[in-house]
Structure 1
Amino acid sequence: MVRDLDHALKHVSLRAPAPRFERPRPPRGVFTSQQGFMRALGVGAVLLVAVLPFMDASRYTMSIATSALIYVMLCMGLNVVVGYAGLLDLGYIAFFAVGAYISGIFTTVLGWPMWAALIATIVACVTAGIIIGAPTLRLRSDYLAIVTLGFGEIIRITANNLKITGGPSGIHGIPTWSFGPWSFDDGFNLFGIDFPERVVFYYFVAAVVIVVGVIGAGRLAKGRLGRAWKAVRDDEDAAEAMGINTYIAKISAYIIGAVWAGMAGQLMATHLSAISPNSFQFLYSALILMAVVLGGMGSTPGVIIGALFVSLAPELLRDFAEWRYLIFGVLLVVVMLFRPSGLWPATAVLPWLRRTRPTPPAFTEATAVPASVMESVDGTPTTDAHEGDRA
């Protein structure tokens, strides 16, 4: 019997059995699905960023908002290194300094336009990521943190002692972005509305942050490389046993994070028009890492919230004068006590979705063995099992 069945199966085309349950379609509403709510929240945030200059276009507001967006860009890059790949980097400000100094040198000394200096910035950040990451990424945990901290200080001290970087005085007079005869200093007029230089640059930074920082990081996290990073973060030995080249995965995350930091450094150099070694101390690396941990490592909305909190809280507390940093520190301690996983962790589920009970799927009939197979085995025509039941 078994031999006859095996012989029959070799010459009969089998069809895959139908599923026992109808898989329900995932909800797509704003308040019925996590993805729908996040998309609506993202659209609302983009609209808020777009209308902010129409509500308050003062120089102070635009300056603070632009700096906050640059912080978001910087934290998104560190989130790739720490949140996705699990590499504790305490010298991330070094790549921020590389981007700022390269753009400053190429625009002030060599006379390049800022868009051309962007190419040099990316090349320099990739080179710096390989030089720093190649020997250090074979280390883990605390050893990696100590070595990256040392490299961050090396970059700052080197910039403080080189003549081309301006030494302790830094570089001044960094020009803004220009495209042919037009530059951001000229502004523009649209439908009778004047957009000054600070508003134009704010919109430019917002577009770069949204497209490169938020959308780019989100796509990377969901791709094959992002899954490899998360596997390395969870258990490097298990990831290597499963065939992932952990060294390539780590150095790719390090280089991508370096490029993000370099672009943010170039934006900051253009925004401030002057840089100095004191702008790249270890304190800023700690603040950026604090923003990532505070918001939620590996979470895009969490990192954005953490970056905005770290960059805007001291400004909102400016009325308290010398007490503002004390209040800022107390707020950080309180948040970490009550939200140890971050303000918006990567595994967060909306509160109203936790209370919803999944509906049981509808039962469907399973597909029986094809009648042609049974007929070829015993020589008698048979009917489908479900047809017999219905009869």
Structure 2
Amino acid sequence: MEERTAGRWPDGPPWWRAAQDTRRWPWRSTALVTAFVLIGSAYAARAQADDRLPLDVLARLLLITAAGLLLWRHRRPVTVLWGTTLAAALYLGAGYPYGPVFVTVALACFAAVVAGHRRAAWSAVGLLWATDLLVTQWLYRWLPPAGDGSAPLGQEFAVAAWAVVIVVVSELASTRREQWARERAERAHAARRRADEERLRIARELHDVLAHSLSVINVQAGVGLALLDTDPGQARTALTTIKAASKEALGEVRQVLDTLRAPGDAPRTPAPGLDRLPELVEQAAHAGLTVRIDGTPPRLSPGTGLAAFRIVQEALTNVVRHSGSRHARVRLDTEGGALRLVVDDDGPATGADAGGSGNGLAGMRERAAALGGTIEAGAREDGGFRVVAVLPTRGTPSGKLRTPASGTPARPPTPGSTKEDDQ
């Protein structure tokens, strides 16, 4: 069955969509109209035998021509409109009976208006009415049938009213068609936007997972290689850390890929949140970074909790990769309905790529912006680096994390700082 929205078809009824496909020829509808015009005109000729001429070969040729032109009404609407109008005018001027010949003009007018040719439609209908007015009020003296008199003016007003109705109905159909086209374009744009947002979300998630895990693996691989001969026990510990980090990364990547394969299904495992900060601390410790967490994590919605976790994870990954400091501080403050995350390290920046392309920082900002929050990052006056995230919160604070004693707060980042991570 056709999908319907709010009791109507969102893209127009099936017959309408088929009519708008200019690649198809309307054979069936044209054949039906031709049969209707010929049969209806034959009945009209019997009813008007005393006033009009009977149908002959010329009359039938004009009727078939007017109806047959409708085959091109979607491809050449203006040409078909003027062709049917001319055929109908010749038919009336020759004295043949009134009848379904006007149906061909009405359909041609409808197709022209829907295609956007309003002036042509109004002009053709006006010309046909003016021709009928001249024939019935003046030219009847010289045109067949012989002895014909003028038609009452009331009949001409009725014909004019029908002409106006035809054009008005065509205008309403054209307006509805434009509305369907706008709705279809808006839905397509919304679908593209959702697809782009989903691709960005997946890319950001994969980046955060892989960047953090690969940074830990890279550091531990260096430690293992350096101590392989002198301290096999420590090298074994480094390899164990690599195995655990790679296993966790594979699990999170698999979860993202499962979401791609079955976008309508719920995730099999909950998204990480601030309750997993101790895991980040432990992973950072394996990479040689000591992390101190100060503050109480609030109860957050899954989306906000995931964003906060990824921001802290990315900031710590940046410290591991680009800072000479082996100490970092994470402070959580909840005030005014917002969570304030501050990640500090004492620097200095190291490595030739310390400036980087800033993809990781861009991901942080995208996560925060999606929730209505903000991200500030930059070098501190004392040579360190700071990331400050402000995210809106929901719910009430939960229990405190078991972390070392709190330290002294650091100063805010200096404006104009340029250090960003390159992940």
Question: TM-score, normalization: structure 2?
Answer: 0.25
More strand by proportion, 1 or 2? Answer: 2
- Higher relative CO (CA 8 A, sep ≥ 6), structure 1 or 2? 1
Give the helix-richer structure, 1 or 2: 1
Give the TM-score taking structure 1 as reference length: 0.26
